[in-house]
Amino acid sequence: MLKENEQPYIGRWWHREGDRIVCDLCPRACHVKPGQRAYCFVREGSEDGMVLTTYGRSSGFCIDPIEKKPLNHWYPGTPVLS
């Protein structure tokens, strides 16, 4: 849900079918009504179309061993936030 002072960011790759909005981004092709979220929880139906609920925010954090990153020669054996 968007906070009161946040402006919704209208996404792309969607179309209307009757009273529902259809997401064209992935093969699931979610059919949502205004106020309902898609299966991914990133897109939500609104009166204006399909809005992105995570636009401008980080959607995931992970702490990995530094050896998984191209920084493995720099401080080996330490964790890195990615």
pLDDT digits (tens, 9 = 90+) for 37-54: 999 999 999 999 999 988
User: Where are the chain's structural domains?
Assistant: 1-82
Is the pLDDT confidence value at 73 over 90?
no
For the chain, what percent of residues have pLDDT higher than 90? 50
> How does DSSP classify residue 61?
-
Per-residue model confidence (pLDDT) at position 61: 81
pLDDT tier for residue 13 given thresholds of 50, 70 and 90: very high
Q: Is the pLDDT of residue 3 over 70?
A: no
Q: How confident is the model at residue 1 (pLDDT cuts 50, 70, 90)?
A: low
